[in-house]
Structure 1
Amino acid sequence: MAFVGEVDIRVERGVGRITLNRPEAINALTHDMVRAVDAALVAWAADDGVRSVLLDGAGDRGLCAGGDIRAVHRDAVAGGTATPGFWADEYRLNARIARFPKPYTALMDGLVMGGGVGVSAHGSVRVVTERTRLAMPEVGIGLAPDVGGTYLLSRAPGESGTYAALTGGVLSGADAVHCGLADFLVPSGRLDALREGADVTAPAVEVGPSRLAANRTWIDACFAADTVEEILDRLVAHGEDATAKEIAAKSPTALKVTLAALRRARALPDLEAVLEQEYRVSVACLRDHDLVEGIRAQIIDKDRSPRWSPATLSGVDDDAVAAHFAEPEVPFRLT
């Protein structure tokens, strides 16, 4: 099997190699890329000549900047008919990676955001470096973390996952290991050796200090609150005004939906059930004003001044949040 285009798929010495190949867009995932990777994994799972899989990204900026958000924006403006199909295929791929029967190694170097987390952090061997900058920034564009992000973050130590989801902030490689989003931190200079088959665990590398781990006391105390409003109040009381301000700039609707999604995800039995919930939430967000407005402000016009509606947390009522978890017209099932 060999496919070269937006994703480079081939087999080298018994290793199924997947290289995301849109370096000009930091390898942002298109629907065609998702389909190609999924088809390769289906074939390789049944191929005795393929012992393992290795995922990396072309260029030197990062593994993957996420999904093709510009395409989502175009579709949302036009009525949102294509994006649910993209999400369904993407989430199906996330589940396949998590259940893949052979070693699946992801080299999470550089920028790893959103959909990039989905194709890497569900793998069996997840490698970060000193250059890793990982984030689930969806609340900043009027969306909730998806691609299994609420599954991973809801199971992170303490409230570190809630912190990462509501701030949308950037995590270092050490932070990613602390949160359970990665397994090994290696120097970026060793990546070529790993591509050639070197043992990722030798020599052992100290993970080093995690800013997230060092701040767990106030993170756990503040982010354990039941509402976003109470989280903000606790942050201010702890002198963490900058974090409170960072969160308050996000979509009020997305913040409340995200907190609800994380809490619900903790009670769901497995990744598949959480992905089904994320699909319901994502499709509901596709109908919201804030998704189109958030992408416009952050990605299209880049004025960084989104006009959220409702504009305040108090304007988002419980019924509006609950509506994001309702079954869409076309259900999505993995179980």
Structure 2
Amino acid sequence: MKVRDFEMKRFIIFGIVFILVVFWEGWGLVFFVDKAKEKLIDETFEVFDQAIRQDKSQRGEGFLNAFSSGVKHTRVPSKSIKITTEEGITEMKKEKKDISYEEGKYINDHLYLLTKNPINVVRLDSIFKELLKEDNLPGETAIVYTTNGVSEYSVSDSAFYKDAIALDLVSIGNFIKLQGYVKYRTWDIWRNVPHRWALIIIGLLVLILVGGYTFLNWRKWKVFSQLKYIEKCSPSDKCIKENLFFNETTRELRYNENWISLTKRSAELLAYLFKGEDWFQTYEDIKKDVWGNGDTSNDAVRNAVNRLNNELEGSGLYVEKLTKKGLRICVCSYN
């Protein structure tokens, strides 16, 4: 008894361990995939910024060389800064921190090109896509370009923007806003997961070991449970099928841990049916051997069968009435 209880406890423990291992493996994969996705997005944003700068350089050829820009920058607290272009003086609200000369010139160049050679969002998207391919990041891209409250889209399909990943908004001097979008295949994200094959192999090995050991303990526990049940049965119990025993003397059926007590007539009828080939007996033999009278009415036999089936409910057995032939014990298919 103690051995069986120990086996049961060990089965439960390893079952819990198996569930925890599955949870840990799943959590680990989700964690590393999220990290890989974050890294991929950061790399993509860097490429997007590079594409913006490359596009500015290409648009500025022939314009910026002849353009002299100056940024009046001071560290004296003020609410705005002024950028001077050929078009005049533009005043911008100052950010929380001072901007450097390089940043000011970058903004100034964009504002100058806004009137001379503005951004073509489709061309910028092509540059973005090409740079991604060079970095072995073949994602689908799109860009939304907004200036003076008007937005232009490099991809006309609005559904793409809902499914794609939105990169951080690039705001140039509060006048130009560029929003990049990218969509990667699952494999593109998965291949950036660090040590992905090691994680899979280790996870599978642990699952096989723990799962296999748990299964073996479950089988062992099931065998012990069967032996434990058989020990409860007396030598006079007849084994009908697995976990189903009938004792003609005590008129009891035992199914798993359920005991079913039968009335005298029901027990006699059931015992007689068990003696027949394939558990079948003719009506004539039943009337003669069970009732002891071949003139017993069919109604009496049918009523007895109905009572027996009611008593057998839940036992896994029932008595089938074969018209003009006899009775047969059947095993319920769901058992």
Please give the range of the TM-score, normalised by the shorter of the 2 chains: under 0.3
Larger relative contact order, structure 1 or 2 (CA cutoff 8 Å, min sep 6): 1
Larger C-alpha radius of gyration, 1 or 2? 2
Give the TM-score of the pair, scaled to structure 1.
0.18
Give the TM-score of the pair, scaled to structure 2.
0.18
